[in-house]
Amino acid sequence: MKADARDMQGAASEVVRISCVRHTYEDGTTVHLCGLDFLARRGERVAVLGPNGSGKTTMLFHILGLLRSQEGEVRVFGSSPADDWPSLRRRIGVVLQNVDEQLLAPTVIDDVAFSPRQYGLPESEALERAHRALGLLGIEALAPRVPHNLSGGEKRKVALAGALVMDPELLVLDEPFEGLDPASRSSLLSLMRTLSIERGMTIIMSTHDIDSVPEFADYSYVLAPGGRIALSGTPAELFARPDLLVQGNIKPPILAALFARLRERDATAPEPALSVAEAVDALADWKRNEG
């Protein structure tokens, strides 16, 4: 796969690099994020895939300086997040897997305005930023509500508004699709595309939602149990190898499985398609050429 070509593009565009980090929790459980280096470059959307307990949250916590590596190295914008978090935090937006831990203010608008107020921006600007962030998520109407009373999906959107309120260069999302209905999921996907393409934001997302990968990710890493970074590639590279995904305990997307089966039966069948629209075109072309 293309890890080397990506690696060669130079340190200047590197936003996050993780090299063989080991973390042992108090009860002795060890997560060893080793194998391949994890790399995210400026403006990239990078997915972290892997079964439950493989170490996705542990990896993100190292990026956020919430855990300190006991071995190996974590670099975020060239610094160590566990040591230099005060200088990094303004550049980074975060949505934790458990958003309840993150929404602490009495109302939604206070919650989203929390960071700009903390950074000492004038009250009018703090509120303007907060309203703008709610607008990006299409949830202005939630501004006066009490976060505790919101649905899971609404809470996640409020947390995301709070993560975006300071225009971060890096956005870290732990399982952001949990609790989102299909319409919210697809508007979140298109918002992430806009943020990365138009603002050059780097987005790192952990997910179980393999079907979001072609739409979301420029590049993906697959964690195996114990944290081993077992596999990486563009969506096309990963989806061309459903056998490797199965070994990594990842259920391949239904389209990848369909095209792999077709090719087993008939070597003239097309390359795996990444979306329904691509699949329709590929199958129509195939049929025409057969005839």
- The residue within the footprint of ligand ADP, chosen from 6, 41, 56, 155 (CB under 6 A), is 56
Choose among 175, 173, 236, 180: nearest CA to 201: 173
Residue 119 binding result from ligand ADP, Mg ion, none, given CB thresholds of 5 to 8 Å by partner type: none
Least separation in angstroms between CB 28 and ligand ADP = 8
Binding mask 24-63 vs Mg ion (x if CB under 5 A, - otherwise)? --------------------------------xx------
Q: Is 58 in the site for ligand ADP (CB under 6 A)?
A: yes
Least separation in angstroms between CB 212 and Mg ion = 16
Q: Which amino acid is at 12?
A: A
Closest CB to ligand ADP among 55 and 248?
Answer: 55
Residue 55 binding result from ligand ADP, Mg ion, none, given CB thresholds of 5 to 8 Å by partner type: ligand ADP
Residue 73: both structure tokens together = 């190295």
The torsion angles phi and psi of 147, rounded to 5 degrees, stand at -50, -40
Q: Which amino acid is at 290?
A: E
Please report, as residue ranges, which positions from 35 to 54 form the binding site for ligand ADP (by CB under 6 A): 50, 52-54
Which ranges in the chain belong to alpha helices (H)? 3-7, 56-63, 81-88, 108-112, 114-118, 123-136, 152-164, 182-199, 213-216, 235-239, 242-247, 254-265, 276-290
Least separation in angstroms between CB 125 and ligand ADP = 36
Least separation in angstroms between CB 216 and Mg ion = 17
Residue 272 binding result from Mg ion, ligand ADP, none, given CB thresholds of 5 to 8 Å by partner type: none
Binding mask 58-97 vs Mg ion (x if CB under 5 A, - otherwise)? ----------------------------------------
Residue with tokens 């309120």: 165
**DSSP assignments along 140-204, one per residue:** GGGTTS-GGGS-HHHHHHHHHHHHHTT--SEEEEESTTTT--HHHHHHHHHHHHHHHHHH--EEE
- The residue within the footprint of ligand ADP, chosen from 21, 35, 43, 55 (CB under 6 A), is 55
| Residue burial 260-275, b: 16+ Cβ < 10 Å; e: rest | bebeeeeeebbebbbe
Residue 226: both structure tokens together = 């114990």
Residue 53 binding result from ligand ADP, Mg ion, none, given CB thresholds of 5 to 8 Å by partner type: ligand ADP
Spatial separation of the C-alpha atoms in residues 183 and 199, rounded to whole Å: 23
- The residue within the footprint of ligand ADP, chosen from 25, 186, 194, 285 (CB under 6 A), is 25
Closest CB to ligand ADP among 55 and 147?
Answer: 55
Is the Cβ–Cβ distance between 92 and 169 less than 8 Å? yes
Residues that bind Mg ion (CB under 5 A): 56-57
Residues that bind ligand ADP (CB under 6 A): 25, 27, 29, 31, 50, 52-58
